[in-house]
């Protein structure tokens, strides 16, 4: 680590003489990992969503303060007395980037596609409550549910249900990702996988026109290399700044450092298909074996919050009043012995590199702590683009480091895909009738107070089952050149570049 610190100091010492290599109407964003698709309905990670949502828009969106849902492509909406019908009035005169018109049929085409099992969207279950989409007239579309649905608006504000051109859906089919066509302020230009992805301004955009002509997402996996690129002026913004570099960047007059809250939980997942991780005592032992405080305050310099449960407690409906697993190696060894593994066991620990804050170093710290109670975890790194495929198969991973955000700022979406049996992100292969029942119950409750009470029961059931060892809640560490203005960073990790300017 000291080598890295010295290198960063040396880099920053010479940063004052750097000259920006990019033009004032081109913004280059240095990212740790590449996008995986440009099809909104296939997106399962935030870095990809950040690209997709500069091209596309949803019916509704969160306001700038992330306090309430506001209109986007829908100007207004109304709900039937029984809570089962939602009618949306669409904005008039909006065109997709291929010239197709935004109308009720276009919205229906988007919803029909994600609900079609043949599409194989990893988010299909989130929208499964919608049983019918009716075209009322050109500018009004009705969504019908099988019962009242409490989290409807937050779910509709997410990237997976961004509205897509019906013409592109028809012409491209499963190849939509190659020619995405949304209504957003930027349109797809080019993509060199593993290197860069380029968006161009949509001059026919219905709303306020962006100043930037191009946004370039430049893939730079290594933390130190990203910092070098920023201080030289080769890129304008970088994300996932390593905590060891934050104070140095703060002292550079050419750099603005942003530390913003997020909804993301970093955790160690446990694959129930791999013995002995199917044993709850083993999973609880792993929880007790991890020193979260040491990782958060030492390795990560206090730039994260120590996790209690799977969801950040500032997400509506969440709580930190849960069964806890304080650092207790003796308790961990006791539980291992009770489970029949007094000398521990061997497993694997997979981790990405460059996706999360010091993800490699955090995984290595966990590996060392587990070894102290007899758990020998072979550490393996996997490219981000193939990690989720490996986890979905569940054939070779025992433990894995991953993060979970909350794109909807509501526990429904993440619960349905992560802890419900068959969920697309249920890489632990949890199959709990109790958890499934509670998740189904909260979906049908429209009273916020009652719904949140059910969600707290659900979180406690997850905590006792211990499919994860939740480590910490990340903060967003974003650094930008001082001439970059108008950057917006929100808790669901959307890095909003739509109205950024360069002075």
Which pLDDT tens digit goes with each residue over 407-458? 999 999 999 999 999 999 999 999 999 999 999 999 999 999 999 999 999 9
Contact in structure between 39 and 177 (CB atoms under 8 Å): yes
The pLDDT assigned to 185 comes to: 98
The pLDDT assigned to 23 comes to: 72
Task: Average the pLDDT over 132-143 and give the result.
Answer: 98
Which pLDDT tens digit goes with each residue over 105-117? 999 999 999 999 9
**Nearest in space to 120 (alpha carbons), one of 184, 239, 39:** 39
Query: Structure tokens of 183?
Result: 């209504």
Superfamily of 56-170 according to CATH: Dipeptide-binding Protein; Domain 1 (3.90.76.10)
SS3 string of 158-203? CHHHCCCCHHHHHHHHHHHHHCCCCCCCEEEEEEECCCEEEEEECC
Task: Average the pLDDT over 367-378 and give the result.
Answer: 98
Q: By CB neighbour count within 10 A (0-12 exposed, 13-18 middle, 19+ buried), where does 481 fall?
A: buried
**Nearest in space to 7 (alpha carbons), one of 300, 301, 265, 227:** 227
Strands 214-219 and 26-31: parallel
The pLDDT assigned to 163 comes to: 98
CATH fold of 2-54+180-260+476-502, please?
A: D-Maltodextrin-Binding Protein; domain 2 (3.40.190)
Task: Average the pLDDT over 474-485 and give the result.
Answer: 96
Question: Residues 6 or more apart from 428 whose CB is under 8 A from it?
Answer: 269, 270, 271, 272, 467, 468
Which pLDDT tens digit goes with each residue over 285-312? 999 999 999 999 999 999 999 999 999 9
Q: Over the chain, what is the mean pLDDT?
A: 93
Which pLDDT tens digit goes with each residue over 27-48? 999 999 999 999 999 998 999 9
Q: What is the DSSP string of 259-319?
A: EEEEEEEEEEEE-TTSTTTTSHHHHHHHHHH--HHIIIIIITTT-EEE-SSSS-TTSTT--
Superfamily of 263-474 according to CATH: Dipeptide-binding Protein; Domain 3 (3.10.105.10)
Contact in structure between 62 and 409 (CB atoms under 8 Å): yes
**Nearest in space to 461 (alpha carbons), one of 436, 486, 428:** 436
The pLDDT assigned to 14 comes to: 45
Q: Is pLDDT at 474 greater than 50 in this prediction?
A: yes
Q: Is pLDDT at 466 greater than 60 in this prediction?
A: yes
- For the entire predicted model, the pTM comes to 0.85
Q: Is pLDDT at 21 greater than 50 in this prediction?
A: no
Which pLDDT tens digit goes with each residue over 209-247? 999 999 999 999 998 999 999 999 999 999 989 899 999
Helix 433-443 to helix 411-418 angle, to the nearest 10 degrees? 150
What's the sign of the alpha-carbon dihedral 66, 68, 74, 80?
positive
The pLDDT assigned to 320 comes to: 94
The pLDDT assigned to 385 comes to: 81
HSE-up of residue 349 (Cα within 13 Å, Cβ side): 26
Task: Average the pLDDT over 38-63 and give the result.
Answer: 95
Secondary structure of residue 355 in the 3-state scheme = coil
Task: Average the pLDDT over 10-19 and give the result.
Answer: 43
**Alpha-carbon distance 306 to 312, whole Å?**
10
Domain spans of the chain, in order of start = 2-54+180-260+476-502, 56-170, 263-474
Which pLDDT tens digit goes with each residue over 256-283? 999 999 999 999 999 999 999 999 999 9
Q: By CB neighbour count within 10 A (0-12 exposed, 13-18 middle, 19+ buried), where does 64 fall?
A: exposed
Q: Is pLDDT at 195 greater than 70 in this prediction?
A: yes
């Amino acid at each position: 680590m000291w080598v890295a610190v010295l290198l960063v100091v040396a880099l920053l010492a010479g940063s004052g003489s750097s000259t920006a290599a990019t033009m004032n109407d081109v913004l280059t964003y240095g990212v740790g990992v590449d996008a995986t698709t440009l099809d909104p309905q296939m997106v399962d990670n935030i870095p990809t969503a950040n690209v997709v949502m500069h091209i596309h828009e949803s019916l509704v969106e969160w306001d700038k303060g992330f306090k309430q849902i506001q209109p986007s492509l829908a100007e207004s909406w109304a709900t039937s007395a029984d809570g089962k019908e939602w009618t949306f009035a669409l904005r008039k005169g909006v065109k997709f980037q291929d010239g197709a018109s935004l109308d009720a049929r276009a919205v229906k085409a988007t919803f029909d596609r994600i609900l079609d099992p043949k599409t194989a969207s990893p988010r299909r279950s989130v929208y499964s409550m919608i049983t019918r989409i009716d075209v009322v007239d050109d500018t009004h579309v009705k969504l019908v549910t099988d019962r009242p649905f409490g989290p409807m608006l937050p779910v509709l504000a997410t990237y997976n249900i961004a509205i897509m051109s019906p013409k592109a859906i028809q012409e491209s089919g499963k190849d939509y990702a190659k020619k995405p066509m949304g209504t957003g302020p930027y349109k797809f230009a080019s993509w060199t996988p593993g290197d860069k992805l380029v968006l161009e301004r949509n001059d026919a955009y219905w709303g306020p026109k962006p100043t930037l002509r191009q946004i370039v997402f430049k893939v730079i996996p290594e933390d130190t290399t990203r910092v070098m690129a920023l201080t030289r002026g080769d890129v304008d913004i970088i994300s996932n700044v390593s905590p060891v570099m934050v104070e140095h960047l703060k002292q550079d007059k050419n750099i603005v450092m942003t530390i913003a809250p997020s909804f993301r939980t970093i955790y160690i997942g446990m694959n129930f298909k791999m013995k002995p991780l199917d044993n709850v005592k083993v999973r609880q032992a792993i929880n007790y074996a991890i020193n979260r405080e040491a990782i958060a305050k030492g390795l990560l310099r206090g730039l994260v919050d120590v996790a209690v449960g799977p969801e950040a407690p500032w997400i509506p409906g969440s709580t930190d009043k849960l069964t806890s697993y304080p650092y207790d190696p003796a308790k961990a060894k006791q539980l291992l012995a009770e489970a029949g593994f007094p000398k521990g066991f061997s497993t694997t620990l997979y981790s990405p590199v460059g996706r999360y804050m010091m993800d490699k170093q955090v995984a290595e710290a966990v590996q060392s702590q587990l070894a102290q109670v007899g758990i020998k975890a072979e550490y393996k790194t996997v490219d981000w683009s193939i990690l989720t495929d490996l986890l979905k198969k569940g054939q070779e991973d025992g433990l894995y480091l991953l993060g979970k955000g909350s794109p909807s700022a509501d526990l429904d979406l993440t619960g349905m895909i992560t802890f419900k049996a068959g969920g697309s992100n249920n890489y632990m292969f949890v199959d709990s009738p109790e958890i499934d029942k509670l998740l189904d119950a909260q979906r049908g409750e429209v009273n916020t107070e009652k719904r949140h009470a059910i969600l707290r029961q659900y979180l406690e059931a997850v905590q006792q089952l211990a499919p994860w060892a939740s480590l910490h809640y990340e903060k967003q560490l974003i650094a930008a050149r001082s001439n970059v203005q108008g950057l917006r960073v929100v808790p669901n990790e959307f890095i909003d570049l739509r109205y950024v300017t360069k002075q």
